[in-house]
Structure 1
Amino acid sequence: MSNDFDAVLRKLALEAAEEVTADNGRIHLAEFHASLDGRIRQIPELYDAAIYKTAQSVARDFGERRSPRRHRKTGGLYHPKSILRLGQGIWVWMKDATPTDTTQWASVSSRNTVRVIAAEAEKQQYALDRTDAFRENPTCGRLAQLEENVFHYQQGTLDDLAFDEPQSARTRRRSIGLGDAEQGFSIPPATARLHLQIPAPCTGHRTPTGLK
C-alpha cells in the first residue's frame, strides 16, 4: 500500500488527536477513535488504505498472540499452532519450523529484546531526570515548561519526521539530506482547533549529573 496513503492517514490522525485534546492535554482514546473514523469516512479514496491498515493490525495482533510462551500444562514453549516470526516479513508455524528457522527466530528475538531493554532503560533514566528537575523547579507545572526553560529544548525543522516515517526511511532520508516530501492529497480542514491552557512562565535550574 502506498506510503502516500499512509502519510494522509497520519495527518488525519494528528487532526483528530488535536480536536479531542482536553485543556489538560489528555486524549481519551474512545473520542480519538470516533474523530478519526469520521475523518476517514469523508475521503472514499482512503477506504482501501484504511482496510489494509486494519488487516495489518489484525495480523500483528495475531502474530503477537501466537508467539511462543510457556504453557501451564506442558511447562514448555512448544505448541503446533504457535508462530515463529523470522524477520523480513516471514512467519512459520511452530510445527513446521526447521533447525534454521529455530535459530533465525532465536536471533531475531534476541535482537528485539536488546532493543527493547535499551529503549526502556533510556525512558526510565529520562523519567528519573525529569522527576528530579520538577522537584528542583516547582514553578514548572508541565513538561514543556521544564524542557524549554531548564533543559533548553528547541524544536528542529525535521523533528516531526520521526512520527511519519519508518526507521529505515528516516535513516535513508537523513543520509541524503532530504526534508519532508510533498504529498499530493487534499485533506479536509480540522473541524475544531486545539485550545490548550497556556502554562505560566517558569524559569529554572537543574543540578548537574553527579552532584545530587
Structure 2
Amino acid sequence: METEKKLIAGLDKKTTLVILISSGVLVGWSLISSVMNLGPITASIITYSLYGFYWFYAIRYKNPLVLRLVIFGTVAGILELATDHYLVETINSLVYPGKELMIWSSPAYMPFAWSNVILQLGFIGVLLTRRFGILKASLILGLAGGMYIPLYEHLANNAGWWWYKNNTLMVFNAPVYVIVCEALISLSLPILIQNAEEHSLKKTLSLGAIEGIWILVSAFLAFSIAG
C-alpha cells in the first residue's frame, strides 16, 4: 500500500499536466521556429529554459519521479554526444550549422535537449506502465517515439537547428534509420525507468548510463538495418 501511495504521489494530476503542457510548448516552439526559420538560437533558448524548469519543478515540489527522470535524462544526454559524433563524423549523415558553442561534434545544448525529451517520453512511459503493464507500455512508447521524435527532427530541419544529408531513405526530413533508432530508444524507457521515483541516486546514474549506451547501440543497429 505504501508503494502504491508513492507511485500515485509521483504521478499526480498536476505533474502529469505540467509534463504534457511542457511537451506541447516544445512542439509549438519548434513549429514556430520551423515556419519562421529562426535558426539555432531558438533551440538553445527552449532547451535551457525547459531543462531549468524541470529542475525547478522537481526541487520546488519535491517530486522524486521528475527528479530521477531529470538525472536519468542528463546522464543519457551526455553520453549521447558519442552517438552524435558517430552520425556527424563516421557516417556523415547529421549536419549542425556550427553557429553555436560546440561540444565535440554537437551543439552545447544537445545533452540537455535529449534530457528534456527523455524526461517527457519517460514520464509518459511510467503512465503507460501503470495502465497497461511493462510489455505493452514499451511497445506503445516505442511506436509513439518513432513518430514523435521524427516530427521534432522535421521541424528542426526547417528551423535551421540541424539537418540530415539526403543520402539515405527519408520520410520528410527524417531518415528512416533515425525513425528506427528513435523507436528503439523509446522502447527501452519503460523498463529502465520503472519505479524511477524509488531509485537511489547511484542506480539512477547507472540506468542513465545504460540508456546513453543504448542510444549509440540503437544508432548502429538502425543504420545497419535502414541506412
Higher relative contact order (CA closer than 8 Å, sequence separation 6+): 2
Provide TM-score, normalisation by structure 1. 0.30
Higher helix share: 2
TM-score, normalised relative to structure 2? 0.29
Bigger radius of gyration, 1 or 2?
1
